[in-house]
Structure 1
Amino acid sequence: MNSQNKNIYSVSSLNRAAKSLLETGLGVIWLSGEISNLTIAVSGHWYFTLKDHSAQVRCAMFKGNNRRTGFTPKHGQQVLVRGKLSLYEARGDYQLIIDSMAPEGDGLLKQQFEALKCQLAAEGLFAQEYKKTLPTVINRIGVITSSTGAALHDILSVLKRRDPRLQVIIYPSQVQGIGSGESVAVQIQLANARQECDVLIVGRGGGSLEDLWCFNEAVVAYAIFNSQLPIISAVGHEIDVSISDFVADLRAATPSAAAELVSQSNSVVESQLQTLVTRLKRAIAAQLQLKHHQQNLLKEKLLHQDPKHKLQQQTQQLDELSLRLSHAINQIINQQTHKQQRLENQLTHFSPAQTIRIEQQKQTQLITRLQSAMQNKLKQSENTLQGQIAQLNAVSPLATLARGYAIVKDKNGKVTTDSSKLATGDIINVHLHQGEIAAQVL
């Protein structure tokens, strides 16, 4: 072996080189596994092994990082960790140096939380320039939360205690479980469509990360960002942080704190009311003083101007105008009377009454002549009809039958006048003046 070979490492240098490769090669990784061989050192550091069904890796989580986990891991617990691969040079063991740990379910949610947070921050949803300020005067508050949750009770209690004059409009929403994010977003859009409140409080009471997850969904973040109404995010307890807190115009640590932000205490309201009352009294006093001064001026003017003289002049003018009006009215009446008389005379002259009487007489004469002609015509027609009846009776077979004659018909219904054409035993029909008889020839 060539001792001058530059590739010869010492154990320490080899471990340092391996450590450098491990730390720079993969970078930050996420790892899911089961905790075993957990040791909590006196220094506060945690040492344990993460394993799955066929492999394991040593892990270390130092005191400064494990304080932020919010829980103490247990043997056999399934967790999701984030860290960098490294190597413990003293023993040559490679290990994972962990900076974040969460139970596996919450860990996945936190990973999604961080990813969405980065995405929305890049889109500008957290930018301060888009934050709306709360109105100076707030009269009506909208609350988007569960209608049966403790958060609504806390908000109403605080508002009633601090500022009972405030009106509250509740937009009931699902705040936990599947579809809760869409429910919150729909209520935000509804409140903006109605425009019936000055500010919105969106939130709920405390819970696990999974319970609060709807306030970490993109649909809620975009609904808050696009809201025209100012929105206060009040999700969970003071330590809870959600995506809606970053997007909202203002964040409150709790729902009760949000209610305090939008309300004024009774003492402040009373102080403001007292100030307004004082200002009103001063304004009324100033107006009364001004009116009193104006009244004194008018009294002085009235003393220098006697109204009786003006009343006499106005009375005289009124009498003169009355006489002129009466004279004008009489003149108009006389003119109209003369005009009416003239029109009546013209109407009498051209009246159709005489013509109507003449025509009526002519009509009466024509009716009389018509009636006489009709009677003569009827008489002539009656005489003619009587003569024609007499002639008809003279030639009528009925008259002959009435004198005792008869009409004989054979069996075929033909009239017969010759007895030789009938045979003994023939049935004949004899038509008399009154009725018919059947007979047999003998």
Structure 2
Amino acid sequence: MQSTSQPNIYNVSKLNNDIKRLLEGNFGRIWLNAEVSNFVAASSGHWYFTLKDARSQIKCAMFKGRNRAVKFRPQNGQQIMVKANVSVYEPRGDYQLLVDVMDMAGDGLLQQQFEQLKCQLASEGLFATEHKKPLPSQVKRIGIITSPTGAAVQDILTVLKRRNPLVEVVIYPAQVQGQYATNELVHALEVANYRQETDLIIIGRGGGSLEDLWCFNNETLARTIFSSQIPVISAVGHEVDITISDFVADYRAPTPSAAAEIAVDSNEELINKFNYLRQRLVHALTKQVHQEKMSLQQLAHRLSAQDPKYKLQQQAQYLDELNTRLISCTQSKLNHYQQRLHLLNQRLTKQSPQLTISRMAERHKQLTNRLTYATKQMLTTKQSKLHSLLRELNTVSPLATLERGYSISYDDNESVITSSKQVKTGMKMVSQLHQGKVTSIVESIE
């Protein structure tokens, strides 16, 4: 029966990327001892070479930022020790080493062992600051663990004598180089802790190669220093030399002479320290007295602030402030309303009907005068015209004719009789005279 699931199909880039992550995740950083081959220093500053043994080889790259720390130039055929990460160069699908650290084979192996032990003890907390014991401020007796015939012990004794000759010294002899050096150093440190006769222990020696100082990179010695009940100063080699003892000791001195300088104070330093402490005490007492005075003044001020009389005064002052603010506010409001009233009065005056009435009355008077004058003028004109018309009317008026002796006759229908044809015999007619009327009956017509 065929499976219905889809196959996991890779492309080349994804495959190389997955292989790279797999190699880097499983191997991490490794140490490798091998022979250099095909060494090339590129113009970019990066190194490219091959590491090989009798049966296999692997390509390597060391970038410019890393190879600057290498103190020698690798040569083909040279045996070296490298610390590197396993990786894959994806564009070509080549797996390679990315080198971080490079040493010659002998020193490299010791360096590898040093790094391994350093990491192991650090992970156990032997180098942690919280486990460091403080150095005593007053040292009366110092223990020195070193070779009794070496230059280091003489340097330490010379410095101690110069700085404070009253300090006693106990020397615990031990070899500081060779096959039995580590055991003797451990034994001397155990004896010093067993006797508990010193306030401080200095362990160390003068300078030398990595192999010469190797006894101070021993795990047993490191654990013995860590377990010491007496504070330990490690003074191994020169300032550039670093050992496991330096990391685990309570204090690391760059040289044995420096350890003696650190261990004890000189007479002058003791006097200076005494004077400094005296000044600090005086300063502290003065400061304390000043602080107490300030505290007393603050308490007096607080007591005064809590006095009811003071509070009443404050309340009275506050009341006066409120009263002043009230008067000021009231006056301000009053002024505001007075100004507003004045503006309203002005507006009311402008809008008052009295002014309009006065203006209208004046206009009425003017119009009345004009009307009276116009009426008189018109009456005069009309009277003149009437007199003229009356004169003209009088000229053509039948009354004037009647006044000269004529009359006007009317029939019963009050129609003017202008012809004899309108009259019949026996008909009554009325004649209008200049003064009065006459009624007559027609007797004959001509």
SS of 1:147's equivalent? coil
The residue aligned with 2:141 is 140
Q: Does 1:26 align with 2:27?
A: yes
Moved over 6 A (4+): 273-277
Give the % identical residues: 58
Alignment partners' CA distance in 2, 1:156 and 1:127: 31
The answer on whether the counterparts of 2:138 and 2:264 sit within 8 Å (CA) in structure 1 is no
Asked if the contact 2:174–2:185 (Cα under 8 Å) also holds between the matched residues in 1, the reply is: yes
Distance in 2 (alpha carbons) for counterparts of 1:124 and 1:248: 12
Secondary structure, aligned partner of 1:120: helix
Cα distance between partner residues in 2 of 1:199 and 1:251: 13
Residue 166 (structure 1) aligns with: 167
Kindly provide the CA deviation profile for residues 31-75 of structure 1, in whole angstroms up to 9, marking residues without a partner as x: 210112323344443222111122221111123333444544333
> Counterpart of 1:213 in structure 2: which amino acid?
W
Conserved 8 A contact 2:31-2:112 = no
The corresponding residue for 1:253 is 254
Cα deviation for residue 262 of structure 1 reads 1.0
Task: Map 1:287-326 to 2 at 5 A.
Answer: none
Deviation at 1:78, TM superposition (A): 1.4
CA distance in 2, matches of 1:123, 1:55: 37
Question: Residue 108 of structure 2 corresponds to which residue in structure 1?
Answer: 107
Mapping of 1:383-402 within 5 angstroms? none
The Cα of 1:112 is off from its aligned counterpart by: 2.5
Distance in 2, Cα, partners of 1:254 & 1:214: 17
Q: Distance in 1 between matches of 2:46 and 2:149?
A: 44
The residue number in structure 1 matching 2:39 is 38
User: What residue number does 1:189 align with?
Assistant: 190
SS in 1 for 2:76: coil
Secondary structure class of the residue paired with 1:170: strand
Q: Secondary structure in 2 aligned to 1:188?
A: helix
The 5-angstrom pairing of residues 100-249 of structure 1 reads 100-249=101-250
Offset at residue 233 of structure 1 (A)? 0.9
In structure 2, relative to structure 1, the CA distance for the partners of 1:116 and 1:25 (3 Å cut) is closer
Write out per-residue CA displacement over residues 365-422 of structure 1, whole angstroms, 9 at most, x where no aligned residue: xxxxxxxxxxxxxxxxxxxxxxxxxxxxxxxxxxxxxxxxxxxxxxxxxxxxxxxxxx
Q: Distance in 2 between matches of 1:275 and 1:134?
A: 20
Give, in whole Å, the separation in 2 of the partners of 1:41 and 1:247.
42
Provide TM-score, normalisation by structure 1: 0.55
Unaligned regions of 5+ residues in structure 2, if any?
Answer: 1-6, 279-446
Whole-angstrom CA distance in 2 between matches of 1:147 and 1:75: 46
Change in Cα spacing, 1:63 to 1:213, as seen in structure 2 (3 Å) is same
1:242-391 mapped onto 2 (5 Å cutoff)? 242-271=243-272
| Whole-angstrom CA distance in 2 between matches of 1:187 and 1:16 | 56
Amino acid at match of 2:269: V
Can you give the 5+ residue segments of structure 1 that lack an aligned partner in the other structure?
A: 278-442
| Cα pair 2:34 2:53 within 8 Å, conserved | yes
Distance 2:154 2:193 in 1: 23
Amino acid in structure 2 at the alignment position of 1:155: I
Aligned pair in 2 of structure 1 residues 14, 30: CA closer, same or farther (>3 Å)? same
Counterpart of 2:194, as a letter, is A
Aligned to 2:103, what secondary structure does the other structure show?
A: strand
Match of 1:76 in 2: 77
TM-score calculated relative to the size of structure 2: 0.55
**Corresponding residue number in structure 2 for 1:64:** 65
Superposed CA deviations along residues 240-280 of structure 1, whole A, max 9, x for unmatched, are 22221222111112222211111324532454688999xxx
Question: Helix, strand or coil for the counterpart of 1:237?
Answer: coil
Aligned-pair CA distance for 1:227: 1.6
Asked if 1:7 corresponds to 2:9, the answer is: yes
Distance 1:213-1:8 versus aligned 2 partners, 3 A rule: closer
Q: Aligned partners of 2:85, 2:180: CA distance in 1, in Å?
A: 37
Paired residue secondary structure (1:133): coil
CA–CA distance in 1 between the matches of 2:65 and 2:78?
Answer: 21
Instruction: For residue 138 of structure 1, report the CA deviation from its aligned partner.
Output: 1.0
Residues 260, 73 of structure 1: CA spacing in aligned structure 2 closer, same or farther, 3 A cutoff?
A: farther
1:179 partner letter? Y
Q: What CA distance in whole angstroms lies between the structure 2 residues aligned with 1:9 and 1:171?
A: 70
> Residue 36 and residue 150 in structure 1: after superposition, are their counterparts in 2 closer, same or farther (change >3 A)?
farther
Q: SS at 1:165's partner residue?
A: coil
- Give secondary structure in 1 for the equivalent of 2:172: strand
CA distance in 1, matches of 2:27, 2:243: 30
> Which amino acid letter does the alignment assign opposite residue 40 of structure 2?
T
Q: Secondary structure at the match of 1:196?
A: coil
Find the residue that maps to 2:135 and give its secondary structure.
coil
